[in-house]
């Protein structure tokens, strides 16, 4: 075989493989751009970050504190603190985890404060708000019957999680509701990944034991 043939044999004859970025990577790149702009004082850029994350923040806060008004306050306080402290964020790619850490810290603080006073009744009205806020992942928005079923399941789930230990509830919400990776959760809660996996396994076991009630 000649050198030329060896060269041809080592080349792929198929079409070049196009690299498709992972959705999370693309989203992270957009966050980075907006964060850098916002750190330079661009209020509109921060407004776009708010639009991207306010629905997610609300759902996360609600599933932890289970009260619409408290959740709205937590979201507002989270965004205010984020704007004031944004210049301290050294890695723009870490914005999502950083923002969720602020939210979960405020949500857990709200729970502890509530435990020192009379506990508010369960607030099912908040579920409707969670389903209509931006960035919702529900596919039932155009089907009232399906939307009602989803809200009923969410209500049952929220009641179930209300009985779970706080540390299990938070890990479950961040993983199953916010779709955060184990690494992101560990960074957000300042835990080891093994601890996160252990708590998540216990939380999932608790949820699975009650799944038959929703079938």
CA dist 100 and 60 (Å) reads 8
Do 33 and 73 touch, CB atoms closer than 8 A?
Answer: no
Rounded to two decimals, the pTM is 0.65
> pLDDT band at residue 24, thresholds of 50, 70 and 90?
low
Over 70: is that where the pLDDT of 169 sits? yes
Fold of the domain spanning 24-119+147-213: Rna Polymerase Sigma Factor; Chain: A (1.10.1740)
**pLDDT tens for each residue of 29-42:** 889 999 999 999 99
Write down the domain spans for the chain.
Answer: 24-119+147-213
pLDDT score recorded for residue 150: 55
pLDDT score recorded for residue 108: 84
Mind spelling out the 3-state secondary structure of 47-114?
HHHHHHHHHHHHHHHHHHHCCHHHHHHHHHHHHHHHHHHHHHCCCHHHHHHHHHHHHHHHHHHHHHHH
pLDDT score recorded for residue 37: 96
Mean pLDDT of the chain: 76
pLDDT score recorded for residue 110: 84
| Percent of the chain whose predicted confidence (pLDDT) is above 90 | 34
């Amino acid at each position: 075989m000649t050198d030329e043939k060896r060269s041809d044999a080592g080349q792929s004859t198929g079409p070049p493989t196009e690299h498709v970025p992972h959705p999370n990577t693309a989203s992270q790149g957009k966050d980075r751009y907006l964060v850098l702009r916002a750190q330079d004082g661009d209020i509109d850029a921060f407004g776009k970050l708010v639009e991207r994350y306010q629905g997610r923040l609300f759902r996360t806060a609600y599933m932890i504190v289970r009260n619409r008004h408290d959740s709205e306050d937590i979201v507002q306080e989270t965004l205010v603190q984020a704007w004031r402290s944004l210049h301290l964020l050294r890695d723009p790619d870490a914005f999502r985890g950083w923002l969720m850490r602020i939210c979960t810290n405020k949500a857990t603080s709200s729970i502890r404060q509530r435990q020192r006073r009379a506990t508010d009744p369960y607030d099912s009205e908040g579920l409707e708000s969670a389903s209509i806020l931006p960035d919702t992942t529900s596919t039932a928005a155009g089907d009232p019957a399906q939307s009602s079923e989803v809200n009923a399941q969410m209500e049952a789930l929220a009641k179930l999680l209300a009985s779970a230990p706080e540390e299990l509830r938070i890990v479950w919400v961040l993983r199953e509701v916010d779709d955060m990776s184990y690494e992101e959760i560990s960074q957000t809660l300042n835990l080891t990944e093994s601890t996160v996996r252990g708590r998540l396994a216990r939380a999932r076991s608790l949820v699975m034991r009650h799944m038959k009630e929703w079938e």
